[in-house]
Each structure stands twice: as C-alpha cells, then as structure tokens.
Structure 1
Amino acid sequence: MLLVMILLLVGLMALSVPVAVAIGLAGLVGVAAFSNLPLIVLPQQAFIALDKFPLAAVPFFILAGNLMAAGGISRRLVDLVESLIGNTRGGLPATCIVVCMIFAAVSGSSVATTYAIGAILIPAMVAQRYPAGFASSLQATAAELGVIIPPSIPMILYGVAASAPVGDMFVAGIGPGFLIAAALIVFVLVWSRFCFKPGDMPPKQKPPFLMSLKRSVFALFMPVLILGGIYGGVFTPTEASIVAVFYALVVSMFVYREMRFITMVDVLKRSALSAAIIMFIISMAGLFSFILTRAGIPTAISQWIVENFNSAFMFLLVVNVLLFVIGMFVETSASIVVIAPILAPVAAQFGIDPVHFGLIMITNLALGMITPPFGVNLFAAAAVGNVSLHRMIPYLVPMVGVILLCLALITYFPMISLGSLYLFGIR
C-alpha cells in the first residue's frame, strides 16, 4: 500500500499536479483500494486535521505580512538598516539579510518576505551593479529566515503535528535564526570584497540614520510588541497573530497613511488565497498521515530506524539526508504535517529533545524553498528580479552550502536551539 501511494504521489507531482491535490488523491486511493474504511473517513480526517486552535494563527500571520508590505512598513525597515550599513562594501546585500530577519519576526512566511523585501532590494542591488542572479538568489535565501525566526508558520504546524509546545518552538528559533543570518552576512561581505568587481560604480548616498530611525519607530515596535507579548505571557502565539494584523492595519492606514480601502481589498484577497492553499495542504496531509498511521507505517519505520541505527548521531545524519531530499520535492508545510508525527517519536527514543528536533526539521525542510525543482522562494525571487533560474544557480550553490553548515551546527549542538529556553527561564 505504502509503495503504491508514494509512487502515485510522486507521479502526480511530476505531472505538475498541485501538491494538495496529489496528496489527497494518494490518500483517496489508500482508503478506497487498501482498507475497508468507508469513504466518509476522507472529509472527517480532512476536517480533524484543521480542527486545531493553533492553526488559526496561520492566516493572520500571512495577512500581517501582506499588510506590512502594502502599508510601507517593510520599506521603512529597509531605509533604517541601509542607513547603518548601506555604504560599506557588501552593505546592501547585508541589509537584505537583516531586513528579512526583522520582517520575518512578524510575517512568519518566507514567501511573503521574498515578495515584500525583494520588490525593494533586488532592484536596488541590481542598480548598484550586483548581478541580477546574485541579488535574486540572496533574496530567496535570506527569506528562508521567515520560517526560522519566530513567529513561524512551520513552527506552529510542527507543534500541532508533534505535540510540541508552540511557544517553546518560537523561543528556540532565535538561536538558529541569528546563526544563519550571521553566517549569510559574513558570506556576502566576503563575496562582495573578493568576487564582486563594482568598477566605476558611484557611491550610493545612504539615508540619514536619525531621520530613518524616526520614520521607522512604529515599524520597529511591531516585532517588539508581538514577540514581547508572546514571551511575556501576555497573549498566546495564536492571539499574537491577531494583534499583529490589528497593529499593521492601524499603522498602515492611520499612521503612515499609505494604504487605502481599495488596497486593503487586494491584500485580503491575496492573503485569503495564500491561507487557503496552506490549509488545503494541511487537511490533505492530515488524511494521508491518518492512513499511514492506521496501516502501521510509522511504527514500522520507527522499528527499522532503531534496529539499524544505534546512535543519535547516525540517526540525525540519516534524517537530515532524508529531509533534504524530501524538501526538494514536497512543500514544507505538507512535509512537516506528514513526517513530524513519524519521526518525532523515534527521535524521543534516542533522547533528542522534541523542540530541538523540530528546529532541525524546519531548518532542513526550509532548504527545499531554495532548491529546485519546487523551491517556492526561488520562483518568487526570479519573478521579482525578472531573472531566469539558470542565472541564479551559480550564486545559489554556495549559499545553500552556508545553510548546510549552519544546519550541521544546529543538529549536533542542541544549545544553539535550547539555549534561548534556558536564557528566558522557560527551562
């Protein structure tokens, strides 16, 4: 049964069938052909997969990110960071990384970060004679921080799928997020100094710091409000998503006054479409996971891993290779919902903390957003930068290498993830 379902799933995706539809059809075949369950199980399990309170945060964080982009919040963050490091060699690419990190602290979505920040910084980097392929590749890679820096939609999904505390996941994401951001900044500064030949490019006039700081005060307060409220126990991550929407709406319409009601309609449409796609994937992945669990597949996989790998080191190595391959072909949200319930219990048998394992999974699967053939960030950045994918690949390969190095450190040094929990007194 498993082989038929997986072959059908892979075959449908190879034919460019949408991921959610491919997962749902594979689940339908599993129920109809290989079990005596009634077909009413299909809608029941699809609904059960969505009937989880933390998932309510997903559409609100998507909406908050789109409001930030449309209301001028993201542009003010760019101006502030550029006023600090814009004139240094490699300063503009470093600005891209820092702004993505700040924007990710509210939006929770890498694709939203790609569109919102890329629309500003990819043309700016090209204007400074950085190769368009480099600018687009960097934007796609830096936007990956959207799912690692808290709050994060994949963290919410992992928490639901693996029964891990979402608040702890958010706090644990701080260390890995800063590590990856710092590594990318070092990379672009070195690359800009030794590999980039700007020629006679005139120096760019960076905006005055104090003016930029004054204009971005409300934008900077947004992640402080959201993250401070979560970590301070004022509201839950789900409630924080609603606060983020309300704050972004008020600032965009009544403080910066860059959003009108007609713009709001477009933002709502795009946010509803994005949220519907993610929820459809989650519901179909829940059905798929139910069928696998009923067939005893997770138990069989757990036993096979335990019998063949007798150390946590080898288990994590094999899991990372497996997740890297899966992430290249399956959307991140679907991968987490299907795989987390299978692998998290096995990791616990090896004494691996579930929160630490969640950060390993999310960091690894996030690489799928910037690796062909289904890298959503790649396609988004290519569209924004108006550049073909083959021009991005030569610049993308070393950036993926940097992320892989960070993944190795996150995997085998748990305190990178768990240190924040002890720092904030959660453990």
Structure 2
Amino acid sequence: MLTIVFWDVILLIVLLMFSVPLPYCFGGALLFMSFFGDVSMKSMMLWAFDQMINPVLLASPMFILAGILMGGSGIAKKLLDFVDVFIGHIKGGLGVVCAVTCAIIGAISGSGFTGVAATGPIMIPRMVEQGYPRGFSTSLLAVSSILGLLIPPSAIMILYGWVTETSILACFLSTLGPGLLITALLSIVNLVWAKKFDLKLETREVILQRRKEIVPRTIVALPALLMPVIILGGIYGGIFTATEAAAVSAVYAIPIGFFVYKGFRGGNFFPLLRSSASAIGSIMTMILFCLMLSQTYVMLKVPQAIVEIVYSLTDNTTVLLILINLFLFVVGMVINDATGMILVAPLLLPLMKQLGIDPIHFAAIMGVNLAMGGVTPPYASILYLGMRIGNCSFQEILGPTLVFLIIGYVPVVFLTTFWSPLSLYIPRLLGF
C-alpha cells in the first residue's frame, strides 16, 4: 500500500510542477487513490463535508473578506501614515514603516496577501521616491507581508488547530514571539542596508512640521488601530471565538470604509465583495480536496509508516528536527501555506510527539517554515504578487529577498525549533 501512496505523491508533485490548479491536483491524486488504493471516495466525501461544516473553519473565509475590505477601505493607508510620522524621517525609517505596518496588518487580516495588496501601491512608490531601489522596496514589502501568517490572528494557525484538534488561541500565541522577532530582524537589516542608499531625507523644517502632525494623525488612525485591539482583545479576553472575531473584523471594516475613511466609493464595494467570494470559493474547494487526501493517507496509516522510516534512518533528535524543517521548507516552496498545513500537519504530528515536541510548539515550527515558503520560488505566490504591484523583475527582487530570508528568517526557524520558550512561553503564561 505504501508503494501506491508513493506513486500518488509523485503524481501530485508532477501536477503541481505543471501549474495545474490546486483543486485539480488534489482531485487527481484522490482519483488515483480511488482506482489503485482501494479507498472509498463516497465515505471520504461524506467525512470531508462533515468536517467542512465545522464553525471553526468559517474563520478563514471571514478573515479573507476582512483583509480584502481593509485594502479597499483606506485602513491600510491610515496605518502607514500613523507609523510614518514617528520613524519615517530616520534614514532607513521608511523601510521600518513598511515592516511594522505589514505586521500590524497581519494582526488584522491573518493573511500574507493583504499586506502586499493593501500597502504595496502606497508604500513602494514612496520608498522609490525617497531613493530606495525598486527591487529592494518590493522585496522588503513581500517578505514583511508574510508576517500576516505569524502575527495573530493567523489563518494557517486556525487550520492547524482545526486539523490537529489543538487550541486555536494557543496556536495564535505560539507564533507571536517568532513573528515579532522576524519583524525586528527585518527592520535591523533594512536600517543597515539603507546606509548604502542615497536617500532623500527630510529637512529639519519638515521634521518639525511632522512632529506637529503626531496628534492629528493618531486621532485619524484610531479607528484603524482599534481593529487589531478589538480582534485580539476579544479573542484573548474570551469575549468571542476566533470565528466570531473574523466576522467582527469584516463587519467593522464596512462602516469604517464608508463613513470614516471613505475608501468605499465609486462603486468599488461590490466588486470587492465579488473578488472576496471568488477567492473564498477557490480556497474552500482546495481545502475540501486537500482534507480528503490527507485523511486518505491517515486511514492508510502513512503517519505510522513515516515514524518507522525516519527512525530507521537515525534516532538523533537534532538531526531529525533539521530534516523535518528542510521537508517543511520544501513543502512551502511547492504549495501554498493553507494546503501545506492541512496536508502535512496530521501526517507529521505523530512523529513530533514521538520526539517529545509539544503540538503547540509544532504549530510554530510549521508556521515559520510555511510562511518562508510563501516568498521562496517556485511557488512564492506572495513574492510574485509583490513583483506585479512593484513593477520589477525577478532579477531585481531575488538578491534582496535571499538576504532578508537568510538573515531575517532562517535564524528564527532554527531558534523556534530548538528553543521552545520562544513559541511556548506566552501560551504557558496564559495557561495553555
């Protein structure tokens, strides 16, 4: 039976390499298992639909809707203006504004795409005008945007908690430490690198004028700043669940966009809703097929086989964790984060438990690896979106992206894996 599973995985990889749409990739792999693996698709379909009506899963499409509405409402621009007034005048400060704003947006939308789509059209031209190379500006924006997968609430942590039956709130908290550390490292790399650029800094008169704008810009940004406070405060305070928080964030963005920032005008609101519906439909279809394939592997006892195979190679925990990180990184390179989470988490969790890794700790390990895959070719969907918005070539963006990943992400991946307090201290502090 493992031979059939092996060829099924090969088929899945081949379909992915030929850029076949993800639902068809997993549908093809399921048909293969139905014909050759003696798996009942009827029972799998019934099981999957039973899982899909779980209210927890509703949080993902609601956060997607909130993120798209946030991009069109003007909330992202007000957040940029707010952060810019404090540190934008420092040499390299505009890059820090980019990283911090993307982290804040991540705390609202739970998605990596929102940071690129909402801030890219505003941030990249502003950085280029100040003297940043276009490739550097686009790279920093794309790499910072995947903080949306780590700074809670995170859509992929909702999926991890759902498929592994782990507390979603604990999963949120597990990636907070790594996410904040990555934000700091990206900001430091930017500040050091910016010294090489001939940036047009503001005059003393402009800086003094900017200081006078602190209070007005803060007041204007308050509705936008209240969004993460309401979402995170509500979840951590036990006022509402992650699903309810997602719904609140989507509803909150509507009056803010219409009446406060007036970003919803000229008939752009309903096109945004149509765009959200299209994205949500595609993602939910992918989740359905991916869930069925993952459960098929679980039924065929693939997780137990993985444990046996891995332990036959080595029983050194350090080596095993390095191999698992490499595997997760490769997974993130070829499929999107949501797919990787649903497909891989149930398969590897038994092995991680054998190694003594807490499921909450494993959530953080998977999160940082799959987030890094979002800007690592060949998949690199967030990176490609950044290239389109930033109007730059792959050659321009590749060098800065590699530097940001090697210095800003890779150390955090290994620190998250081998120093558990980075991901477990905050959850343990709150009783998880």
Which residue of the partner structure matches residue 327 of structure 1? 332
1:86 shift after superposition: 0.3
1:38 shift after superposition: 4.1
Whether the 8 Å CA contact 1:31–1:291 is kept in 2: the answer is no
The AA in structure 2 aligned to 1:287 is M
The AA in structure 2 aligned to 1:13 is L
Whether the 8 Å CA contact 2:152–2:176 is kept in 1: the answer is yes
Residue identity (%): 35
Whether the 8 Å CA contact 1:173–1:417 is kept in 2: the answer is yes
Which residues of 2 match residues 93-104 of structure 1 at below 5 A?
Answer: 93-104=95-106
Alignment of 1:140 with 2:142, yes or no, is: yes
Instruction: Please give the per-residue CA displacement for 1:237-289, whole angstroms capped at 9, x wherever unaligned.
Output: 11110111111112112222331382221111111122122212211111111
Helix, strand or coil: the match of 1:258?
coil
The AA in structure 2 aligned to 1:95 is V
Whether the 8 Å CA contact 1:328–1:368 is kept in 2: the answer is yes
Which residue of the partner structure matches residue 405 of structure 1? 411
Q: Which runs of 5+ in 2 are unaligned?
A: none
1:65 shift after superposition: 1.1
The AA in structure 2 aligned to 1:398 is V
Runs of 4+ in 1 over 6 A off after TM superposition: none
Instruction: Please give the per-residue CA displacement for 1:350-400, whole angstroms capped at 9, x wherever unaligned.
Output: 211111111110110111110111101111100110111121101111111
The AA in structure 1 aligned to 2:250 is V
Which residue of the partner structure matches residue 336 of structure 1? 341
1:316 shift after superposition: 1.5
Which residue of the partner structure matches residue 88 of structure 2? 86
Aligned residues: 422
Which residues of 2 match residues 360-399 of structure 1 at below 5 A?
Answer: 360-399=365-404
Whether the 8 Å CA contact 1:302–1:342 is kept in 2: the answer is no
Which residue of the partner structure matches residue 287 of structure 1? 292
In 1, Cα distance between equivalents of 2:312 and 2:102: 42
Helix, strand or coil: the match of 1:278?
helix
In 2, Cα distance between equivalents of 1:127 and 1:31: 57
User: Is 83-92 or 65-74 further displaced after alignment?
Assistant: 65-74
RMSD of equivalent CA atoms: 1.6
Helix, strand or coil: the match of 1:40?
helix
1:39 shift after superposition: 4.0
The AA in structure 1 aligned to 2:428 is Y
Which residue of the partner structure matches residue 270 of structure 1? 275
User: Is 399-408 or 247-256 further displaced after alignment?
Assistant: 247-256
The AA in structure 1 aligned to 2:239 is V
Instruction: Please give the per-residue CA displacement for 1:289-312, whole angstroms capped at 9, x wherever unaligned.
Output: 122122221110022223433243
Which residues of 2 match residues 217-256 of structure 1 at below 5 A?
Answer: 217-256=222-261
Alignment of 1:309 with 2:318, yes or no, is: no
Helix, strand or coil: the match of 2:91?
coil
In 1, Cα distance between equivalents of 2:49 and 2:129: 49
Q: Choose the corresponding residue for 2:16, options 13, 17, 41.
A: 13
Which residue of the partner structure matches residue 202 of structure 2? 203
Instruction: Please give the per-residue CA displacement for 1:40-89, whole angstroms capped at 9, x wherever unaligned.
Output: 24533442442322110011111111111111111000001000000101
Which residue of the partner structure matches residue 37 of structure 2? 34
User: Is 165-174 or 143-152 further displaced after alignment?
Assistant: 165-174
Q: Choose the corresponding residue for 1:417, options 412, 420, 423.
A: 423
1:121 shift after superposition: 0.5
Which residue of the partner structure matches residue 212 of structure 1? 217
Whether the 8 Å CA contact 2:89–2:201 is kept in 1: the answer is no
* Pair 1:32–1:49, CA change in 2 (3 A): farther
In 2, Cα distance between equivalents of 1:80 and 1:47: 44
In 1, Cα distance between equivalents of 2:229 and 2:299: 44
In 2, Cα distance between equivalents of 1:49 and 1:378: 32
In 2, Cα distance between equivalents of 1:53 and 1:316: 33
Which residue of the partner structure matches residue 22 of structure 1? 25
1:225 shift after superposition: 0.8
Q: Choose the corresponding residue for 2:264, options 259, 262, 266.
A: 259
The AA in structure 2 aligned to 1:420 is I
Q: TM-score, normalised by structure 1?
A: 0.95
Instruction: Please give the per-residue CA displacement for 1:165-193, whole angstroms capped at 9, x wherever unaligned.
Output: 10111122221111110111111011112
Whether the 8 Å CA contact 1:24–1:287 is kept in 2: the answer is no
Whether the 8 Å CA contact 1:312–1:352 is kept in 2: the answer is no
Which residues of 2 match residues 154-169 of structure 1 at below 5 A?
Answer: 154-169=156-171
In 1, Cα distance between equivalents of 2:376 and 2:263: 35
User: Is 214-223 or 413-422 further displaced after alignment?
Assistant: 413-422
Instruction: Please give the per-residue CA displacement for 1:85-116, whole angstroms capped at 9, x wherever unaligned.
Output: 00101111110000001111010000122111
Helix, strand or coil: the match of 1:243?
helix
Whether the 8 Å CA contact 2:258–2:264 is kept in 1: the answer is yes
In 2, Cα distance between equivalents of 1:261 and 1:271: 18
User: Is 264-273 or 248-257 further displaced after alignment?
Assistant: 248-257
Whether the 8 Å CA contact 2:90–2:201 is kept in 1: the answer is no
In 1, Cα distance between equivalents of 2:395 and 2:337: 23
Helix, strand or coil: the match of 2:197?
coil
Whether the 8 Å CA contact 1:311–1:350 is kept in 2: the answer is no
